[in-house]
Structure 1
Amino acid sequence: MPLPSVLFWERKDVPGAEHALLDARDGLYAHGTVLAAAPVPFTCRYEARTGPDGATVRVDVRAEGAGWARGVRLELASGRWRVTASEQGDLDAALVATGHASAGLPGCADPDLLFGAFDVDLGGSPLFNSLPIRRLGLESATDGVSHRLSVAFVLVPSLEVVQADQIYTPLGDNRVRFASETFSADLTCDGDGFVVDYPGLARRVTAAS
């Protein structure tokens, strides 16, 4: 069945874009495509679902480029994450050939480290930054009250899954400060909590723009 809404972001850090189709009427269901030219040219396709409370319950991701393809699935079952991964070809060879370090293996060596994560973050995707913002209602929350979250972070293009601590702080006027251990950016959202502008990474565009 065709999905009723579409979001499109233009990447600012590298040549690329993200296109997402979604239905936000009962939780969130989305499938989308991320294109990026670095660290190697790749396409990343994802499917994500949250429950009515906004907590993520399933994410499927597949990334592919010249000579390689990887996949990872995260499913929440009885409060714990089940992670399955697949790999074809040689991503490391493609990375080393362009002067980059080799990648980690897809998936997660110890999914128990993800216990307590209610959100999944896909590297380079403004849609996935929108998930905790919407779950906590931060686009309209009290200014200055920070929320420290444990997330399942999917690195791209390796699709290695690691636990990460992230902090989201509402600033008022549909702005939310996103911070990790070494990074901070003030995100601008629309009234539904979807990221419009992620400084240095991506900005949403429409047909009118």
Structure 2
Amino acid sequence: MLPSSLFWQRKDTAGSEHVLADTADGLYARGTALAVDPIPYTCRYELRTDPEWVTGFFDVAVEGAGWSRSVRLDLAAGRWRVTTAERGSLDSVLSSAGHAGAGLPGTEDPDLLYGAFDVDLGGSPLTNTLPIRRLGLHRAAADGTAHRLSVAWVLLPSLEVVQADQIYTALGEGRVRFASETFSADLSIDEDGFVVDYPGLAARAGDPHLQSAG
């Protein structure tokens, strides 16, 4: 039993994400994400960080009609180990729905992820909290300092893992700017660093604060 619950409603497509979490010693979380774009899928994941909020492992599985994939990422001594599995053909399902094919799950060269301390699950507001907490941006003053970092970006629904450069900047008053090379959004966060509103992507549903079961 995990003590806290968060729920987001997607804005960009029909979908949602529900996470059960424990922040007593870093983050341990189990989540389920649903979406219909580009095809309907269900994603389930388990995530653990160390006390400094550096990702230790991320185990994620996604499935749809006639296919399933899974990826596990483990970080030790600065290097990532990537384990994958696949059943059915996601490419065939995407093709029949008029979409381009997907990349293979995982990555052919985990060394490309060297220097990344965070995972970023596509479409998931939960994983934005990892660098926010690791860098202490939820308590940082708005001094204009831009933190450029490398992340292991896990794409949905393919579970392809790619290296991505991202920039996080504390804006103060419960806001953090997230940016990539081609995108920027000012995230509203709660006092614990969890996303309340991600413009264009998702917003927390129900109680605007992290919900606890006592």
Q: Hey, what's the Cα distance between the residues in 1 that align with 2:176 and 2:121?
A: 18
Residue identity opposite 1:167 in structure 2 = I
In structure 1, what is the equivalent of residue 192 of structure 2?
A: 192
Q: Hey, what's the Cα distance between the residues in 2 that align with 1:53 and 1:207?
A: 27
Q: Hey, what's the Cα distance between the residues in 1 that align with 2:131 and 2:93?
A: 33
- SS of the aligned residue for 1:139 comes to coil
Q: Over residues 174-206 of structure 1, what are the superposed CA-to-partner deviations in whole Å (9 max), with x where a residue is unaligned?
A: 101101111111100000000000000000011
How large is the RMSD of aligned CA atoms in angstroms? 1.2
Structure 1 position 77, deviation (Å):
1.9
1:171 correspondence with 2:167? no
Structure 1 position 78, deviation (Å):
2.1
In structure 2, what is the equivalent of residue 147 of structure 1?
A: 147
Q: Over residues 123-159 of structure 1, what are the superposed CA-to-partner deviations in whole Å (9 max), with x where a residue is unaligned?
A: 0000001111011111221311110010000000000
**Farther-moved stretch of structure 1 (94-103 vs 4-13):** 94-103
Number of positions where the alignment pairs a residue of Structure 1 with one of Structure 2? 208
**Farther-moved stretch of structure 1 (139-148 vs 4-13):** 139-148
In structure 2, what is the equivalent of residue 206 of structure 1?
A: 206
Structure 1 position 100, deviation (Å):
1.1
In structure 2, what is the equivalent of residue 25 of structure 1?
A: 24
Contact kept in structure 1, 2:21 and 2:28, CA below 8 Å: yes
Q: Hey, what's the Cα distance between the residues in 2 that align with 1:48 and 1:153?
A: 14
Q: Hey, what's the Cα distance between the residues in 2 that align with 1:44 and 1:158?
A: 11
Return the TM-score normalized by structure 1: 0.97
Q: Over residues 106-129 of structure 1, what are the superposed CA-to-partner deviations in whole Å (9 max), with x where a residue is unaligned?
A: 011100010110100000000001
In structure 1, what is the equivalent of residue 45 of structure 2?
A: 46
- SS of the aligned residue for 1:64 comes to strand
Instruction: List aligned pairs for 1:1-209, cutoff 5 A.
Output: 2-143=1-142, 144-206=144-206
Contact kept in structure 1, 2:196 and 2:208, CA below 8 Å: no
- SS of the aligned residue for 1:93 comes to helix
Residue identity opposite 1:36 in structure 2 = A
Q: Hey, what's the Cα distance between the residues in 2 that align with 1:120 and 1:86?
A: 19
Instruction: Specify every segment of 5 or more residues in structure 1 that has no aligned partner in the other structure, as ranges.
Output: none
Return the TM-score normalized by structure 2: 0.95
In structure 1, what is the equivalent of residue 212 of structure 2?
A: none
Q: Hey, what's the Cα distance between the residues in 1 that align with 2:191 and 2:98?
A: 42
Residue identity opposite 2:7 in structure 1 = F
Which consecutive segments of 4 or more residues in structure 1 shift more than 4 A?
none
Q: Hey, what's the Cα distance between the residues in 2 that align with 1:207 and 1:6?
A: 10
Residue identity opposite 1:172 in structure 2 = G
Q: Hey, what's the Cα distance between the residues in 2 that align with 1:174 and 1:207?
A: 16
Q: Hey, what's the Cα distance between the residues in 2 that align with 1:109 and 1:208?
A: 40
